Structure formats: structure tokens, C-alpha cells
Amino acid sequence: MTKPIIITDPDTDRYHTFGYISWWQQETVRQATVLVVGAGALGNEVLKNLALMGIGQILIADFDTIEDSNLSRSVLFRATDRGKRKVDVAAERVKELNPDVRVKPWHGNINYEMGLGVFRHVDAIIGCLDNREARLSLNRFSWAVNRPWVDGAIQELMGIVRVFWPGQGACYECTLTDLDYQIINLRYSCPLLARQNILQGKVPTTPTSASIVAGFQTQEALKLIHGMEVQPGKAILINGLTNDIYTTEYPVKAGCMSHATLDPIVELPEATAESTTVAELLAIARDKLGAEAILEFDSELVLSMTCPECGTETAVFRRMARLYESDAQCPHCHNQMDMNLTHRITGHEPFLHYTLAQLDIPPLAIIRARNHQQSLYLELTGDCHTFLTFT
């Protein structure tokens, strides 16, 4: 890769020094959209790097708030930020570092709350996560929409950096051991997922390992943005105690559950979660697949709950994964209520006039439509204009 070297004025161009790097394309960097999942120790360092390099659009996803214990590893946070959402503070500080960068903070849990289509519409995904559940989700999402992602993990003075690319080498799930699955299943053993309990067992980390690993992660994302070669399915292992850095290649696991890509994905530029009704989406499905087509969700939707003791019935319309155990308690007699679930729309539902948002479907969701022979995947692409806006 060669390009004419354009030497700008160091007095007025903050990216002056990058102009000397033969392959660096500042315009490509400026036009890139990067999703950073997690705004903790790694996320702070990654965001700092992305801002300094002049990445044009950054989507920051996290569901956490700032506490004092974050301050020892989070360059973007201050003591006065205690209690604020990590994404909001990080977005503000990124813009302070570089006003050229446009940011969108998104406060939520990517495991259940972000539309799958979001992952299709970014140039690079960087996972700055501290638990297996979220990594597994991110891995399955990236496979589903055929996008690479960069994982980072730290513990004390050690770190791992990995690029996973669907169809090229091992994926994150290929690397999981039986023990990893046991740890994940422990947390899912309750029928109503107790999200409060996810990762209470914290791993000790340092600002040095965070900056080292985040540095590698950002570089891998930079290579992805430039279309340069990366090494999917390989890990960079960094041992800060012995100063050993080496790479290792994971074997692809036969029958790995993550290896599923949605195909074909049909973009619906007019459809949005807020404005499109269930009936309208079903009509689109039937237009493409015939009158027997149905819609299928990837998780259970709780329509209502009924108390077996006192008969109290309440409408819910929330995905089960987003409910807490306390949500299933009868408000009158405090018994556990029975859930009326569905995950498919056949055209006979009394709520066909509801919008998709009223059925707890997030913006840019991808919903499966199928008949007896084939499936296709309908993306609420119309949400791009509102969801993927950066300021």
C-alpha cells in the first residue's frame, strides 16, 4: 500500500505525524464507525486511543455507572463522576480529547437490548468486556451478521488480545472449555435470568495491563478499518511478569454453536421498531415467502403473567431475558406467577396492531421470517437514521 505523502502543518493539523506513516489513511479513519462494547478499564483506554487517532464515529455501549473503584484504571473518569453513567462520561471526555470525533453513548446491555443490525452497520467492533457471557453474546452476534470483532482480556499483569472473524479460524466459543460453560450455566440456572448477579466475582486488573491490551486491540481495529491483514483465530498473549509475548492459534471446534450466519438478511429501509406494526412486518414476510409465512423471535416474549393462587393477570410484553425475578411476583399475594410465552407470530394474535417496540423489539433488530422451506431475516434498517446518529 502506497500513497503520496502529504506533509501538513504541525501547527494546525493534529494528525500531522500520521501523515508520515505510509499506509495510514486519515480520511478512512475519519469515516470509520467503531463500536466499543464496555466502558470499563479496557474501554477507557480503547476510547482514548480511538479519539486520539481521529476515528470519526464511536458508538459506546455499557450498562454500568461509575464508582470510585473504577478511578484507578479509567483515564476518562474523575472522582466527581461517581454515580454517572459510564457511557455518558466517556462520550463527553472523548469529545474533549478530540472535538473532531462524533460519539453516541448507548446505555444498555448488549446481551439482550441492542438490535442485531447495529453490528452490521459498523466498521469494527471492539469488545472491552470482563465476563464470558457478554463475550459469548458478542461472538454469536458477530457471526450472525458476519462481522469481525476484537476481544481483549486482562488479569493482573497479563493480557490476551484476539481477533475473531466468522469463517476464518477459531471463534471465541471455539476456545471455551467445559469449565467455562459451567461458569456460564451457573449464572443462567434460574429460569428468570437474575441479571443483577452477573459477574460479581471480579478479576483484579491494573491500568498498565489495560493500556497494553487496549493498545493492541485498537491497533487491530485500525488494521481492520484499513483493510489490512489480521490474524483471526490467533491470540496474542502478554505476560507482564516474565515479559513474554507470544501468539498461539486455537483449533476450530467441530459443531461450535456460534457458527451460524443469518442468510439472507433483507434490509427494510422503511421499517423501524417504533413505527412498524407486527401486522405490517408479517405482511412483508408473506409478500416474500407466501401466505403461510410466520415471524420468529430469537428469545421468548412474555405476553402476560397469571397468578395461580388469586387469578391476577397482568399484561407484560417484555422479552423474558429482560425481566427480573421480582417482576414475576404477584402484586397481591406475592406468589410466583405463571408466564404466558410466545416466540412466534402466526397472524392470529390479538396484538397484531402493536408496534414492534411495544413487543420489546429494539431498533435495528433482525427478525426471522420463515415458511416450511426457507427462512430470511428482516432488518429494521429504517432505524439507522435515528439509532446510528453521532454528535
- Touching Zn ion, residues 91-150 (CB under 5 A): none
Our CB check for Zn ion shows the closer of 40 and 232 to be 232
- Touching Zn ion, residues 159-178 (CB under 5 A): 171, 173-174
Distance CA 221, CA 365 (A): 24
The size of the interface with Zn ion (CB under 5 A), counted in residues, is: 13
DSSP 3-state assignment of 378?
strand
Minimum distance from residue 143 beta carbon to Zn ion (Å): 8
Of the listed pieces 28-36, 42-50, 234-242, 309-317, which binds Zn ion according to CB under 5 A?
309-317
Minimum distance from residue 344 beta carbon to Zn ion (Å): 27
DSSP 3-state assignment of 82?
coil
Q: Does 312 bind Zn ion (CB under 5 A)?
A: yes
Our CB check for Zn ion shows the closer of 74 and 258 to be 258
Our CB check for Zn ion shows the closer of 263 and 270 to be 263
Our CB check for Zn ion shows the closer of 168 and 335 to be 335
Q: Do 364 and 379 touch, CB atoms closer than 8 A?
A: yes
Answer for which of 90, 330, 345, 366 binds Zn ion (CB under 5 A) is 330
Distance CA 333, CA 307 (A): 8
At 164, give phi and psi (nearest 5°). Answer: -115, 130
- Touching Zn ion, residues 4-63 (CB under 5 A): none
Answer for which of 75, 266, 310, 341 binds Zn ion (CB under 5 A) is 310
Contacts of 189 (CB under 8 A, 6+ apart): none
Minimum distance from residue 139 beta carbon to Zn ion (Å): 8
Our CB check for Zn ion shows the closer of 150 and 295 to be 150
Residue 364: HSE in the Cβ half-sphere, 13 Å Cα cutoff: 21
DSSP string, 13-76: -TTGGGGGSTT--HHHHHH-EEEEE--SHHHHHHHHHHHHHT-SEEEEEE--B--GGGTTT-TT
- Touching Zn ion, residues 232-261 (CB under 5 A): 256, 258
Exposure string of 60-92, with b = 16+ CB inside 10 Å and e = fewer, is bbbbebbeeebeebbbbbeeebeeebbbbbbbe
Answer for which of 3, 82, 332, 344 binds Zn ion (CB under 5 A) is 332
∠ CA 110-112-114 to the nearest 5 degrees? Answer: 50
Q: Which residues bind Zn ion (CB under 5 A)?
A: 171, 173-174, 256, 258, 307, 309-310, 312, 330, 332-333, 335
